[in-house]
Every structure is written in structure tokens, then in C-alpha cells.
A and B are shown apart, each in its own frame.
Chain A
Amino acid sequence: MDLTDLTLAEVRDLLKRKAVSAAELVRAHLERIECVDPEVRAYLTLSPERAMAQAVRVDRAIAAGEPVGPLAGVPTAVKDVILTRGVRTTCGSKILENYIAPYDATAVTRLEAAGACVLGKTNCDEFAMGSSTENSGFFPTHNPHDLTRVPGGSSGGSAAAVAAKLATVALGSDTGGSIRQPAALCEVAGMMGTYGRVSRFGLVAFASSLDHIGPFGRSVRDVAAVLKVIAGRDPNDSTSAEAPVPDYEFELEKDVSGMRVGVPKEYFAGLSSDIGDNIQNGIDRLGKLGCRIVSVSLPHTEYAVACYYLIATAEASSNLARYDGVRYGLRAQEYGDLREMYERTRDTGFGPEVKRRIMLGTYALSSGYYDAYYLRAQKVRSLLARDFTEAFEHAEVIVAPTSPVPAFKLGERTEDPLQMYLADIYTVTASLAGIPGISVPCGRTPGDAAKGQPALPVGMQLLARHFDEARLLNVAYAFEQTGGFDLQ
């Protein structure tokens, strides 16, 4: 039995039957990381002592016949924008290269209270700004399905860790698609709940009105189990929701027949057949499950990327003002006065994409441009949110591609930021509206062996109304049962 191959549900069962120990699970993963991660490079920092101490606690509780949590002994990876007390937390940035978090994010506290073993911190685009993990200040992560390609981003390390079996589940963060897109490119499931569903306390801020923490897993059930643990009101995050957290796992197996699944026509215009054919196949499968496939319209879709990049960069420019070399993080070695200390610190510590976004955001918020850029974008955001409200009058769930492209080659797109931004078109809309979304594997591109083109994973995205995560997971699970994620 390969312990790194197990799903969360299998881990639970084996631990209960005492067929395996949490310590064995953690050890097996650390060994595999040692062997495989030099090529994948999913992790920035490992926390073996912390994982092992937790495993020992779990094993003792099991031996003593005490109850254990729903994630007991589950080897878990955490994206490096999420704080872990006493463990280096870099956000993929040189400016926080030596930052040791003084407290745990609420999501991490809840994971560990449920018995999860945190193996380490995963690589990401610097401050979660990017779609390929190439903007990490340290090194790029490689897609486990083809090491010459990107894993997507910004949570590329978490997606790659789960795909390469370097963790059973992982936490990522999603601001404009940073969980869903790498999930699609790495062929795993990844979910963003409703805005406020999961506490952001301890998530290093990028764009506060758009940031989410969410789970990755190799099955929908695993994602549901992790979401259940991390969701819910947290007094330390005033925007976290009071809404009760349903038992997502319990709701997975409900019948989906009769459910209306909306297909937004705007999402399929101009979509390449490599992706489109797979999504159509996925939609057909949902139809065979008894879902009623209906056409819906999201008329403002073409404005979403522009709207998103104004709001996200404006919020980022404000949030990243805190990196000034005074209280934590890097301070430049040489400077004259205070002003120069700020400037040199930020110039040395931030990478090019972060600087570009701070510049864009600062410009959009600056005197004389605020109304024309930032305020206008906020108004367009209202229109995009309204699109979804109207579409959800005709459907319970909306189905869409996750990414217009499969995993691309490392280095292929780094010189043209706008082209990289445009590929976020199918994920930024849900982020702006604050609705939940999940990406599940949905076949592969045809590939062309003669041209050396591999068949690459394709992700299908499902979206639902605010706080309707249970239904979203229900449909995703039913879809998964139609033959696993692999539709080949």
C-alpha cells in the first residue's frame, strides 16, 4: 500500500482500523517529498517536527481510544501566504524571506484542531500575484504532469503538492482564480467558498475584498471535508460570515437530477476546441445525471478582467504599503534618510510583478484618476455581480471552463503581463461577485505525440449562489462519480 496515494477518506478508515499510524503517513510523505520535490519544487519550507509532533498526538489519542478529529493524521500542505506560528512564512517574497509568523491563521488553527499534520509551506507567486508560480521570489514550481510546464498559480505549489502526492490535501488562497486555475492545470480539485465563508485571519492580504482561503484535494469528498473544518465565523475576521456551516460531506450524495445547470454563452465564444470539447463532454455528463442544461447569459463578462485588475491592484497597493522595513521583513542595507530606507527596502524586496501591480494600483487611486479608474471599476463590479444574480434565477449551478489554456511552458508568457491577465477571464468573475466556485478535472487536451505535444489536464468550473457550497460540492461529486475525473 502506498501511503501517499490515499485520499482523506481512506486515511480516516485505515487509522480507525489501526492499519496505519499517523506517524507512518507523515513519514511516507516526507520521504516522497525528499525524493520527488527536487524536481517539482512545490515546497518552500518543510515543518517535519511540527507534522510529526501532531502525528504522535493523533496516534496516542487513537491508542487510548479517544475520539480524533475529522482530519486526524492527514498530511497537509499550506500555501506560504498563510501564517504558521514559528514557521517561516515568506509569501514567495524576498521581502519576507526570514519572516517567522508569530501566530497561526485561523484556518491553520482549525486544521490542526481537527488533527491535520502540516508538512510545510508551499511555493506561490509573490504575494499571490500571478497565474503560473513563476513570480515566486525563490524559484518556479513545475507541473507534475510535465515538468517543463507551469503548475498554474498563484497557489501552484499547493496544487502541485497534491497532484504529485506530496500531501493528501492542501490550503491555497484565491483572489482572482489562484486556487481554481492551478487545480485545473494540475488535475486536482480546488475550491473557493463564498467571500466570508472561511476566515481570512492570518492570510497575508493581497486584495481584501477578493481574498479567500480554500482547499485542494484529489477528490471532491476531500475538498468538502477540509472546507467543513475551516469554514465558519471567526471573531478575528469581521467579514467572516455568521451563516451556519452545513455538513458538506453528508450532503455530497444527494440526487442531482432536475437540478438546473446554466451554460453561460459568453464563456464559450472564442474558446479553443482543446478546452471546449472537454467542457462540452462534461456538460453532457451532467445532462446524463439528470441535470437540466439551460442557457444563461452573463453579459458583462468581457469587462471582468479590466474591472478585476483595477480593483485588485488598487487594494494591493494599499495593503502592501506595510512593507516598509520597520516592523518586520527586509530592511535595505544602505540608506540615508527614512524615505530612502523605505524606497530601497521596497525596491530590493519586491519582484517585478509586485512592483507593476503596486504601480497600477497607485495610479488608479491617485488624485485625478480615482473616479475614472477605481470608482468606475467598482461600479462595473456591481454590474458583474448583478449578471450572476439574474443568471441564478434560471439555474442553481453554472458550468464554465476554469482556464482558456492548459498548462503552458515555463518562461513562455512572462514578458507580456497583459496576456497573462487576460487568461484569468473565467475565474475573476466569481471572485468579483463573491460567489463560490470549484474546479474539477475534466479530461485532457488531445495532444499530438508527433509534435511532442502532451495531453494536458483540463478543468471544469462550477459556480453557485452565495453560501450554496453544499450544492456546488453535491454536483461536483456526482460528476466525479460518472467515471472518476478522468474522462478519457
Chain B
Amino acid sequence: MALSEKEVRYVAELAHLKLSDEEVRRFLPQLDSVLQYVTKLNELDIKDVEPMAQVLVEGSADFALRSDATQKTFTPEEALSNAPERGDGLFRVPRVIEKE
């Protein structure tokens, strides 16, 4: 196995996922088998190949920016309509900055 339990926990932390011990045990072999499989790409010589980040084809190449004009957008009420917690026209979150 190329992947370790420690790495799974580290990646979960990067991804802001709190995995249970049971989940870590279950995901480890599954993720490992996928990662082993994708090493298949190492068989190819890609030295002189450009990476393709987007499908850029004729006809869709016009990425001109729109004019910087004001347009209709959400009202504060609409923007807050799905907030799990709100107050005073704002999203409420747990304290981020600790008091001295």
C-alpha cells in the first residue's frame, strides 16, 4: 500500500473533513487502489506536451470581459435567505478573533 493512514488524516485536515476512525479505515484501501491505478499515466512520455486546463475551441474563445456597469443583483434579504444563522442583516459565524 502506497498510502498511509497518517496521510489520509492529513489530507482530510487539508480538506476540512473530520473523518471518523471507521471512515479512515474504510477510505484508505479505496483511495489507495485509485491512486495506484492512476500511476498508469506515468507510462506516457509527456515531456513536450502542453497542459490542457480548459476546452478552448474556435467560437468559444471570446472571453472578453463585460463592461463594468452596475446591474441588478440580490437584495440583502435574498442573499441571506438560506443562511444557517443570521442577524442584523449579516451572516452569523462563531467568534473568529479571540479577545485579548
Contact = CB atoms under 8 A, between A and B. Distances in A.
| A interacts with B | yes
B70 interface: no
Q: List the 10 shortest-distance A-B pairs measured between CB atoms, nearest first.
A: A434-B55, A243-B59, A378-B51, A331-B84, A328-B82, A241-B60, A343-B18, A195-B55, A196-B60, A379-B46
B88 to A, nearest CB: 15
Contacts of A328: 82-84
Contacts of B1: none
Interface stretch (A334-342, A444-452, A480-488): A334-342
A266 to B, nearest CB: 15
B15 A362 contact: yes
B66 to A, nearest CB: 6
Contacts of A343: 16-18
A74 interface: no
A303 B49 CA distance: 15
A194 B38 contact: no
Given A343-B17, A380-B41, 15 more contacts: A209-B53, A243-B60, A300-B44, A302-B40, A328-B83, A329-B82, A338-B94, A362-B14, A362-B15, A373-B38, A379-B52, A380-B46, A418-B37, A421-B34, A434-B57
B54 A331 contact: no
A362 B59 contact: no
Contacts of A325: 84
Sort chain B's interface into a size bin.
35 or more
Interface in A228-267: 235, 238-243
Interface residues of A, number: 75
Nearest to B47: A379
Nearest to B74: A102
Nearest to B85: A331
B94 to A, nearest CB: 5
Q: Secondary structure of the A side of the interface?
A: helix
A363 interface: yes
A238 B41 contact: no
B82 A337 contact: no
A239 B60 CA distance: 7
A447 B58 CA distance: 45
Interface string A370-400: 0001011111111101000000000000000
A366 B57 CA distance: 30
B21 to A, nearest CB: 13
A389 to B, nearest CB: 10
Contact of B19 (A235, A341, A347, A378): A347
Q: Secondary structure of the B side of the interface?
A: loop
Contacts of A344: 18
Contacts of A329: 82, 84
Contacts, number: 178
B95 to A, nearest CB: 8
Contacts of B55: 194-196, 209, 385, 433-434, 466
B38 to A, nearest CB: 4
B40 A347 contact: no
A375 B50 CA distance: 10
B56 to A, nearest CB: 9
Contacts of A103: 74
A186 interface: no
Interface string A313-357: 000010001001111111100011111111110110010100110
Contact of B44 (A100, A355, A380): A380
A393 to B, nearest CB: 16
Nearest to B20: A347
Nearest to A378: B51
B54 A239 contact: yes
19 contacts: A98-B82, A102-B82, A196-B55, A196-B59, A239-B54, A240-B60, A242-B59, A300-B44, A303-B43, A309-B34, A327-B91, A331-B85, A338-B93, A343-B17, A347-B19, A358-B17, A377-B38, A382-B49, A434-B57
B49 A235 contact: no
A355 B33 CA distance: 16
A102 B54 contact: no
Which of A339, A359, A360 gathers the greatest number of chain B CB atoms within 10 Å?
A: A359
B23 interface: yes
Interface string B72-94: 00100011011111000001011
A429 B16 CA distance: 31
Nearest to B53: A378
